Structure 1
Amino acid sequence: MVEGIIYRYRCGIAWRDVPAEFGPWQTIWKRHRRYSGDGTWDSILAALLTVADTQGEVDWSVSVDSTVNRAHQHGTNLPRTTGGPLELHESVC
């Protein structure tokens, strides 16, 4: 099951496209969902990081990205004032 979950993420495929040799895709998805909900993946990651850190295999340097994300012109909640007449269906508060 775990190998099927890893395969799915590594290949970037849909759950339905997981090869049959890993088992039914529904079972793989349910196991992944259960492990995500009960903290199993967090425990596995913590254990792997602890082992890797004690062996000096983890480089804890941090990289900061300064990319600016801009909203689309319609992504605002402010009203547009175009100079035209107000529509009749607008509610007045």
Structure 2
Amino acid sequence: MWDRIEPLMPADPVRGRRWADHRRTLGAIAWKYRTNSPWRDLPEELGSFQTAHKRLIRWAVDGTWEKIFAAVLAAADALDDIDWTVSVDSTVVRAHQHAAGALKRGPKAEASRLTTHSDAPAVG
């Protein structure tokens, strides 16, 4: 897979120091998302966490990730190796009672309960 990805990686900058190894940086980014650990917990053998994080952001801005994804997807499609699976998340998000339209307590609650904003008859 690296043979397909390597030509898509950005070249070293014309001025300044050479970049750290792209392959090691990709490993660091993959480790971060695979373990869901903080960047600062990146193992030393994967390089500096600042380098990996900055490279992740830079590649997102310059379109490197889109090029890599397109190349990997095209290669998998050519081999008929794509099996789409759809996953639906059923997470429940609860709103605070004030956001959910709960009735208010106190003297103002009686007046607001009798007010209607439609042609329907008032309940009360």
TM-score, L = length of structure 2: 0.56
Instruction: Percent identity, please.
Output: 32
Q: Which residue of 1 aligns with 2:95?
A: 72
For structure 1, list consecutive stretches of 5 or more residues without a partner in the other structure: 87-93
Structure 2 letter corresponding to 1:14: P
Give the alignment's Cα RMSD to 1 decimal. Answer: 2.7
Decide whether aligned partners of structure 1 residues 72 and 25 sit closer, same or farther in structure 2, where only a CA change above 3 A counts. Answer: same
Relative to structure 1, is the Cα distance of residues 75 and 51 closer, same or farther in structure 2, using a 3 angstrom cutoff?
Answer: farther
> Counterpart of 2:106 in structure 1: which amino acid?
G
Unaligned runs of 5+ in 2: 1-24, 110-124
Residue-by-residue CA offset, 1:15-73 (whole Å, 9 max, x unaligned): 1110111111111110011011111111101110110011011013x536383745323
My pick for the range that moved more, 25-34 or 64-73, is 64-73
How many residue pairs are counted as aligned between the two chains?
85
The equivalent residue for 1:83 is 106
Aligned to 1:31: 55
Question: Residue 18 of structure 1 corresponds to which residue in structure 2?
Answer: 42
Read off the aligned partner of 2:44 and give its amino acid letter. A
Q: Aligned pair in 2 of structure 1 residues 64, 15: CA closer, same or farther (>3 Å)?
A: closer
Taking structure 1 as the reference length, what is the TM-score of the superposition? 0.72
Q: Judging changes above 3 Å, is the alpha-carbon distance between structure 1 residues 39 and 75 closer, same or farther for their aligned structure 2 residues?
A: farther
Match of 2:114 in 1: none
- Mark the CA change 1:6 to 1:54 in structure 2 (over 3 Å): closer, same or farther: same
Match status 1:63 vs 2:95: no
Q: What is the alpha-carbon distance in structure 2 between the residues aligned to residue 70 and residue 7 of structure 1? A: 29
